[in-house]
Amino acid sequence: NAGVTQTPKFQVLKTGQSMTLQCAQDMNHEYMSWYRQDPGMGLRLIHYSVGAGITDQGEVPNGYNVSRSTTEDFPLRLLSAAPSQTSVYFCASSLSSGDNQPQHFGDGTRLSIL
């Protein structure tokens, strides 16, 4: 059972570079989301999607873009990396957007911006 798969696991970028963090799920989940985890801050929602073709902003969307062309994939794009974006990024999915649906998390991407 693959679940939620994130690639890469680690990445180092220079300020100003762009990159895409990949996220794929094989559970036919409608709802997918991206969080960042910073020390002492818990996890904060960046962007989310309630289905293919539909995305919306979360709590901390600035500097990030997303798209959802298929049910399975939900990539996160950093347009011009900044040191403040150094973080651990988690992708999550759930069957639907209902409140009682638990979210399934990937293992994370550890990103450092120099």
Partner 1 sequence: GDSVTQMEGPVTLSEEAFLTINCTYTATGYPSLFWYVQYPGEGLQLLLKATKADDKGSNKGFEATYRKETTSFHLEKGSVQVSDSAVYFCALSDRGGGADGLTFGKGTHLIIQP
Least spacing, CB of residue 24 vs partner 1, in Å = 14
Q: Which is nearer to partner 1, 78 or 92 (CB)?
A: 92
What pairing do the DSSP bridges indicate for beta strands 87-94 and 31-38?
A: antiparallel
Shortest distance in whole angstroms from residue 47 CB to partner 1: 9
Q: Of 19, 22, 30, 44, which one interacts with partner 1 (CB under 8 A)? A: 44
If you write DSSP's letter for every residue of 61-101 in order, what string do you get?
A: -TTEEE--SSSSB--EEESS--GGG-EEEEEEEESSS-TTP
Alpha carbons 37 and 40: distance in angstroms, whole number: 9
Please report how close the Cβ of residue 62 comes to partner 1 at its closest, in angstroms: 16
The span of 12-20, 67-75, 76-84, 97-105 binding partner 1 (CB under 8 A) equals 97-105
Quick note: the x/- pattern for partner 1 over 52-91, rule CB under 8 A, is: ----x-xx------------------------------x-
CA-to-CA separations, 98 to 20, 36, 84, 89, in angstroms, rounded:
28, 22, 32, 23
Residues in touch with partner 1 (CB under 8 A) = 4, 33, 35, 40-45, 48, 56, 58-59, 90, 92, 97-108
